[in-house]
Amino acid sequence: MTAIVWFRQDLRLSDNAALYHACRAAGQVIPLFIHDPTPTTVSQLGAASSVWLHHSLQALDTDLQAVGNRLVLRQGEALPILQALIAATGATRVYWNRVYDPASLSRDTQIKAALRQVCEVHSFNASLLKEPWEVLKSDGTPYKVFTPYWKAMLKSGIQRLPLPSPPHIPAPTVPVASESLESFGLLPRIRWDTPMMAHWQVGETAALQRLLDFLPDSGADYKDARNFPAQPATSRLSPHLHFGEISPQQAVYHTEHFLTQHPGAESGLRHFMQEIGWREFSYYLLCHFPQTIDQALDVRFRQFPWAENTAELLERWKRGQTGFPIVDAGMRELWHTGWMHNRVRMIVASFLTKNLLIPWQAGENWFRDTLVDTDLASNVFGWQWTAGCGADAAPYFRIFNPILQSQKFDAAGDYIRRWVPELPCSSPIVDLKASRERALERFKRIAGSGTV
């Protein structure tokens, strides 16, 4: 029997339910990745994450070859590609792990219905600790506040033993044609990505090693140290989690195992697992409230009076030329490394949406294009949180003062000097006090205009 395993955001061999069950059931396995770069699919990536995907697919193919198989690459619309491959190979089963953005959920439902006319289809959860529909309030409605959601998650149990990596993945007896990875065009013609990727190791092996290094190096101090951008105190697992080079189940399992031997790290690592919970919550909200991809969850903000004629201000923000050192440092870190420290993400997002009064969607789009860890759910959630219009949002009147933030979290200026060596900066593009008062005045206009 031949089975197709359709890889998506699960670019790993271990704790991969679709691959695990396919190998147990089939004598021949066809590992498949489909590059479907249309606006409504998960493959619609930004420039930075496209580069990461190239290297991640390369790493996955290397890992598959080590256990007797290889990755088959195809490009185009998923359903006809799957149908053609089934017809050509006689495959009787298709396996995949679910993805949870609204477009993909709808597409996969249609694909499953069509393929079940000719073969078995099996889908699994390999990207989340719990399915979004498994954790609901007592009245059957979804949570909108993180703390009760996370308590319910913990009560239901979030730890399980990760599935092992198959020691051998039986290849099809007749070779299956594959397109070249280069034909996907994921790498830029002008290789601006080379210095960016110098900051990263890509693939399943690198992802697990990053976690195993983080736990003893930074785990105990994570709760507090993660707020200081000059310190290497965060896990930097986000791109690995997004592309599925490591699963959240693996992160929880290894963290819990580490804690059995190092109980002194309890406070820091419980907070680390809570951050994995925030990632989980972002997917949960996107699944239950799919309109939040581009609309505020708080409906009042759909009438918010944003500023006009802001194109030049937006460009200055993107280039890290706002005249506020920590904002400029963050935007330049993003441009050079494809990543930005989480504390600084909140600062630059607050500055854009509240001091410049530029819609959060503009910032979300820029992050989506420039982050290697760009993740639709987390990106939308983070931007709406900081803009004050999403679930568990920072109150709109909480406007991060970039000067006070840098004094508190980069007092010695190490982070700022690394990315803004030409200090002092150029003149500020906005007056902090006046722009804060303007933002609060505009919020008052919509404050009583409807319910959340």
- Which positions are catalytic? 275, 278, 306, 342, 360, 383
What radius of gyration, in Å, describes the C-alpha atoms of the chain?
Answer: 23
Q: Which two tokens stand for residue 180?
A: 């070249």
Q: Is the dihedral of CA 357, 358, 360, 364 positive or negative?
A: negative
Omega into 424 within 30° of 0, i.e. cis?
Answer: yes
Contact between residue 204 and residue 246 where contact means Cβ atoms under 8 Å apart: yes
What are the distances in angstroms from CA 44 to CA 254, 395, 450?
A: 32, 32, 34
- How far apart, in whole angstroms, are the C-alpha atoms of residue 328 and residue 400? 15
Q: What are phi and psi of 317, to 5 degrees?
A: -65, -45
- How far apart, in whole angstroms, are the C-alpha atoms of residue 394 and residue 436? 15
Q: What are phi and psi of 95, to 5 degrees?
A: -120, 140
Neighbours of 108 (CB within 10 A): 20
Q: What are phi and psi of 122, to 5 degrees?
A: -130, 125
